[in-house]
Structure 1
Amino acid sequence: MWQLILATVNLAIAGFSLTLGFVKAHAARGNPDLTLKLTASVLIHCGVIFLLCTPAVYRAVGAAAGSSNLPALIVNSATLLCIGHAHLMTQLWHPARKEPAVLRRTIATWAPVYGIAVLLMTVFYVWADVRGPARPLRYAAAYANTWQVVAFQVVYSVGIVATALVTMRQCRGVVMPGRPDLDQALQQSLRAFATAVALDIANIALTLTAVISAVGTGTHRWDFLAEGAWLATIASGVAASFALARLVFSSRRAERRDFRTMEQLWKVATQLRDANGQLVLAPQPLFWWRNTQVDLLRRLAEIREGERVLSPWWSSAPAEAVAGLADQEADLPVYFDLVAAQAAAVVLHAAHAHRQGLARLPDRTRLTAMPGGRVPEDEERAHLVLVARHLNLPLVLEAAAPSSRRAEATP
């Protein structure tokens, strides 16, 4: 009964993790975002771990490979690499640690640690050359009479505990760069991740207890602890998958929301009409199965390209009018941002001037850059979403309208 429950739970977690991992891997194709690729990879690693720890799969893989307990080496290596993925993600989410120079130093320091740990486990596993039957979840305890197996477990335990503690310490102060709206989801996910890491350490403690007992007494009466320790790993896998899934789904919801929020700005910036009066770039429906991140990146690029096409009509008048009206306005919305409001007014004025066929502005009166046009790359999406939210603000419409009439009157 225990084996059936174990197999069912393992396969369920493996199926969920692998499915979500391959979905994110598909979304990561051609995307420069390293965090997205790491998320996909860690989910796939997690799925492989739970799949191989299903007793029937464990035995089948061992038999096919000609080494009955080879899955124990694969599982331990994959678990250590999962911690490595999380370690790197906490670097990318930390304002100071994500700087390229700091990131390179961290990778140069820790990559050898993970690599040496995996290499040592491989050496000890091959050196042990255990010929006995497959022992899913009990390998180290069942063969504790072989010192290479004990060394294999010690290397794994030290690697997990050391890297897990460092990763948990780095969870303090992490943020989602350029995405303050996801910070709450990130903090909740980090708490779940911390729980997952603590449960992994509990697994190590129980397994080492079984190994030490077997070495000290020469009996295997406590071997059940090694198998029971997998309950901690199951809980850890659920917590870790939950943590990553929360970020994945929160990010997807935010992408869909931002995509739709920017639709009006996209139309204003790209409504360069052809002879039939149609949009050159026709909007497409946003279905749930589409790669929203690719669509979002395309939309950002098209908005910036549309702004560039409208640059001959970038006037400073709307921006100055927004600043003046904002000083007089006592009831501004909580999301009001002066730079975003100025950008919205400038692009509305330029689009109107272009549609009316007005003459291009002379260089001396034309803006050389759109307000907010030089924001850092990781803040561009948030900035353009904010610009889009300001398009229908009465203050912005009022600032853009007289500028347009003045532009029409200019010979």
Structure 2
Amino acid sequence: MSESTSNVVYLAIAIIDFVIAGWKCLALLRDRTPTLSLITVNFVASGLVFAMAAPAGYRMLGELTGSPSFATLPVYIGILSCFSLLHLLTMLWDPRLRQRPAVLRRKVTLWSAAYLAAPAVMVVTFCSADLSGPTDPLEFNTNFAGDPLIQVFLGVFLTTLTCGTLSTYRQCRKLKLEGPRFQRALRSFGTAMLFVFGYVVCWVPAIVLAAFGNHALDTVGVLGSTFGSIGALITSYGLSGAAVGAWLRERRDIKALQPLWDLVVEGVDEDLAFSVDSARSHRLAWNVGFNLHRRVIEILDGMRALRPWLSPLPAAAVYAGHEQETSQGAGDVRRLTDQELQAAATAAALRDAAQRLHAARRAAALHGSGHPQAPAGPQVALPGEDTPASGERQRLLRVAQALTAPLVAAALEDVQERRSRTEVAERK
């Protein structure tokens, strides 16, 4: 990559890493776990590495320190820090190692010691070498490959990076995590390690030839930086892809629940809402998990508030209508699952209850009688009220989707006709 291209790519990756780091910090405030702490620190370190490795940042740091090549030291130590954290993270993820705390503790201790010893050697050799004169930010490795101390510096760096990335790749291949999303993210993580190893594969022959005065492979070494950048991007996805997917699904579910919220909260009692901004909370970009959890609670409260106005007729009409449609054997009619049918019955019961409440309010306002009076008789239970708390989100999503279903609309029309006939008969 050219310097201008490197500036754009490296600084863009740095910005991505800092944004993800900020997002992880917010999550860390709510859930302080060792793994989330390591992930957060890794993204901060990665952002700093790419900011310093960009030629613009590299030269700026060189001017501040008076040594044009100084940025190489923090960049390379930062790279090792990032991949050491990732390696330790995969060990903490390993369920087999977690079942053997003594083995896990020993492995973490040994690798941590290696990851601390390597930077110590690198600092000593780098500071002892003669690095006078300007250097190309992208070709430090080959420009100073003839210096024995820099050879040790680069040898320790590339050897440690090789051991860390390949060990992490092997660890990722062995790990079996629950859930396909996490397993896919883990495979991406392992793939990233191979790309980073490509950085080593490109640089080693270039450095060896440059040590003998031959710079024919310098451009191949620079190509290694491209592999490193690709590996960093894939690593970012591996560490945050599942979380981003969950965040997007939560945003989608908040929006999908909005019609149901409008029906049973805004249309029943706005005091049930957590705040005056509840109706617009699906637009918030941050903390969507809290917003979704709050939305579910508000809807359940609204459904309980509608309980006095519930009637068994709409749900019965839904079941009867569905049975009639499927028994006729129409080719375009699909038999609903039990959960879908239950959701349709719930949606019909809630729409009917809201209509009855609004009618009672209009009558109370017309007669000046104050609060509307709920119908007499025992209260009716909604279908699916025995759903476990862990299943409420999916249940309410099905109900929200069923609100406008033709089956629900037909059932409500049937109930309305039956009530109209009853009222006419009572007047006679």
TM-score norm. by structure 1 comes to 0.67
Task: Give the stretch that moved more between structures: 314-323 or 384-393.
Answer: 314-323
Identity score, percent: 21
Q: Is the 8 A contact 1:315 1:361 kept in 2?
A: no
**Contact residue 200 and residue 232 of structure 1 kept, 8 A:** yes
Q: Which residue, out of 344, 348, 359, partners 1:345?
A: 348
In structure 2, C-alpha distance between the alignment counterparts of 1:88 and 1:299, rounded to whole Å = 37
Structure 1 equivalent of residue 161 of structure 2: 156
The change in CA–CA distance for 1:14 and 1:393 in structure 2 (over 3 A counts) is same
Question: In structure 2, what is the Cα distance between the partners aligned to 1:275 and 1:268?
Answer: 11
- Counterpart residue number, 2:85: 81
* Contact kept? 1:340, 1:387, Cα under 8 Å: yes
Contact 1:318 1:400 (C-alpha < 8 Å) held by counterparts: yes
Question: What is the CA distance between 1:234 and its match in structure 2?
Answer: 1.9
Give the conservation status (yes or no) of the 8 Å contact 1:124–1:148. Answer: no
Deviation at 1:304, TM superposition (A): 2.4
Counterpart code for 2:253: D
**Could you tell which deviates more after superposition, 140-149 or 234-243?**
140-149
- Is 1:262 the counterpart of 2:257? The answer is yes
Which residue, 376, 381, 393 being the options, matches 1:367? Answer: 381
Greater CA radius of gyration, 1 or 2?
2
2: CA distance, partners of 1:329 / 1:58: 72
Partner of 2:120: 126
Matched, 1:202 2:198: yes
- Distance (whole Å) between structure 2 residues aligned to residue 339 and residue 37 of structure 1: 43
Q: Secondary structure at the match of 2:180?
A: coil
Is the Cα–Cα contact under 8 Å of residues 345 and 400 in structure 1 kept in the other structure?
yes
Query: Where in structure 2 are the equivalents of 1:228-307 lying within 5 Å?
Result: 228-240=223-235, 254-271=249-266, 273=268, 284-285=279-280, 290-291=285-286, 293=288, 294-307=290-303
Q: 1:320-339 alignment to 2 at 5 Å?
A: 321-330=317-326, 331-332=333-334, 337-339=340-342
Instruction: Please name the residue that 2:171 is paired with.
Output: 166
Contact conserved, 1:124 with 1:151, CA < 8 A, in 2? yes
Give the direction of change, closer, same or farther, for the CA distance of 1:113–1:70 in structure 2 (3 Å limit).
Answer: farther
Change in 2 beyond 3 A, CA 1:79/1:236:
same
Change (3 A) 1:315 1:25: farther
Alpha-carbon distance in structure 2 between the residues aligned to 1:383 and 1:346: 15
| CA shift for structure 1 position 202 | 1.6
Structure 2 residue corresponding to 1:389, chosen from 382, 401, 405:
401
Contact 1:76–1:156 under 8 Å retained in 2 = yes
Which of 132-141 and 386-395 deviates more? 132-141
CA contact 1:121–1:156 (8 Å) conserved in 2? no
SS across alignment from 2:171: helix
Asked whether the 8 Å contact 1:160–1:201 carries over to 2, the reply is yes
Instruction: List runs of 5+ in structure 1 lacking aligned partners.
Output: 92-96, 178-185
Query: Could you say which structure has the greater relative contact order, defined with CA pairs below 8 angstroms and 6 or more residues apart?
Result: 1
Deviation at 1:391, TM superposition (A): 1.1
Distance (Å, rounded) in 2 between the aligned partners of 1:400 and 1:108? 64
Distance 1:305 1:236, change over 3 A: same
Please state how far the C-alpha of 1:139 moved relative to its aligned partner.
6.3
Identify if the C-alpha distance between structure 1 residues 125 and 236 changes in structure 2 by more than 3 Å, giving closer, same or farther. Answer: closer
Amino acid at match of 1:258: D
Cα root mean square deviation, aligned = 5.2
Aligned match of 2:374: 358
Q: Counterparts of 1:349 and 1:88 in 2: how far apart (Å)?
A: 55
User: Residue 305 of structure 1: CA displacement?
Assistant: 2.6
Cα deviation digits, residues 250-289 of structure 1 (max 9, x gap): 666544443332111012221465699x999565446866
Could you tell me how far 1:206 is from its partner in structure 2? Answer: 3.3
**Amino acid in the other structure paired with 2:76:** A
1:114–1:173 CA distance, 2 compared to 1 (3 A):
same
SS of match in other structure, 1:337: helix
Aligned-residue offset at 1:77: 1.2
Q: How many residue pairs end up in the alignment?
A: 380
Shift of 1:236: 2.4
Q: Which amino acid aligns with 1:8?
A: V
1:203 to 1:280, Cα distance in 2 relative to 1, 3 A: closer
Deviations 1:22-64 (A, max 9, x none): 3x34764766699999987665454333223224535766876
Deviation at 1:248, TM superposition (A): 7.3
Gaps of 5+ in 2: 327-332, 361-372, 424-428
CA pair 29-151 structure 1, distance change in 2 beyond 3 A: closer
Q: Write the distance in 2 (CA, Å) between the matches of 1:310 and 1:42.
A: 50
Q: Which moved more, 1:112-121 or 1:69-78?
A: 112-121
Equivalent position of 2:329 in the other structure: none
Contact 2:87 2:167 in 1 (8 A): no
Question: Which residue number corresponds to residue 365 of structure 2?
Answer: none
Structure 1 residue 7: Cα displacement: 3.1
Alpha-carbon distance in 1 for matches of 2:78, 2:169: 19
Cα distance change on mapping 1:4 and 1:113 into 2, 3 Å: farther
